[in-house]
Amino acid sequence: MKNRPLIKAGYIGILMLLFGIILMNIFPKNAHMAEGFKTPVIFFEFANNIQETQKFFGITDGQNIPDKHLIQQMNLGNKIDFIYAFVYALFLFLFARKIKQISKKKIFSGVMFLAISAFVSDVFENINLLQITSKITTGDFQHQLSMLHIFTWMKWGSLAIGFALLSKWFYDQKSWQRIIAPLCWMPVVLAGLSYYFRGANNEYFSLSVMSCFIILVIHSFVYSTRKKV
């Protein structure tokens, strides 16, 4: 008989993926973005300055009326993201706690801490995003942009480092799943590239994080141990 110790975390992971699909259909799909960006919400999270943020929402020198539909879509998505942030952080926390119990290795306590860090950072990120859209016409949101930069990188950075730590778990597996270990380092590599070379790298970075989450969910259902008789 086989035991699947990660399956409870896996169920939360399925809920996480469902929320992700919902958000993909709520967040806007088209907007004016800097070169290299393809996903509006990713561009907004990594917005650099007031001018490009206003332009993103349709405000230019000759047009001072923002795209209200775009704002509504973005606000709704960011409000739902409070729940999504809790779900993905809970999944990562439960996954890390269980493999810590199985492996007896304290390194995975770091992943549990980083899951909490990602959630808290995402909450403050969303607060700043909502404050920015409320001030988009006045342009008086430099402070919120500065805070956004901090919390966005804290969120994505926590996840990237968390996955890197999880590579130890996969490296210790005695099966084909060991090949997942180097993949867990991709978010860290792409985080560095996107920090210094903004644009397409940010898209690849976010995609690598989502890919790691999907891998963890699959692993939650695939991983098994022999039941003690």
- Quick one: pLDDT at residue 26? 97
pTM above 0.85, yes or no: yes
Read off the pLDDT of residues 165-204 as tens digits, 9 standing for 90 and up.
999 999 998 878 889 999 999 999 999 999 999 999 999 9
Those residues with Cβ within 8 angstroms of residue 220's Cβ, 6 or more apart along the chain or in another chain: 6, 7, 9, 10, 13, 95
Q: Tell which residue, 86, 82, 87, 160, has the closest CA to residue 128.
A: 82
Q: Tell which residue, 123, 127, 138, 102, has the closest CA to residue 9.
A: 102
Mean pLDDT of 126-139: 96
CA triple 214-79-46, angle to 5 deg: 65
- Phi, then psi, of 146 in degrees rounded to 5: -65, -45
Residue 228's pLDDT band (cuts 50, 70, 90): low
Distance, CA of 82 to CA of 185 (rounded, Å): 26
Taking the CA atoms of residue 122, residue 38, residue 40 and residue 156 in that order, the dihedral angle to the nearest 10 degrees is 10
- Please give the mean pLDDT across all residues of the chain: 94
Distance, CA of 2 to CA of 16 (rounded, Å): 26
Read off the pLDDT of residues 49-78 as tens digits, 9 standing for 90 and up.
999 999 999 998 767 788 999 999 999 999
- Whether residue 13 contacts residue 36, with contact meaning beta carbons closer than 8 Å, is answered with no
Distance, CA of 84 to CA of 159 (rounded, Å): 14
Read off the pLDDT of residues 26-45 as tens digits, 9 standing for 90 and up.
999 999 999 999 999 999 99
Q: What is the DSSP letter of 72?
A: H
Q: Tell which residue, 99, 68, 80, has the closest CA to residue 25.
A: 80
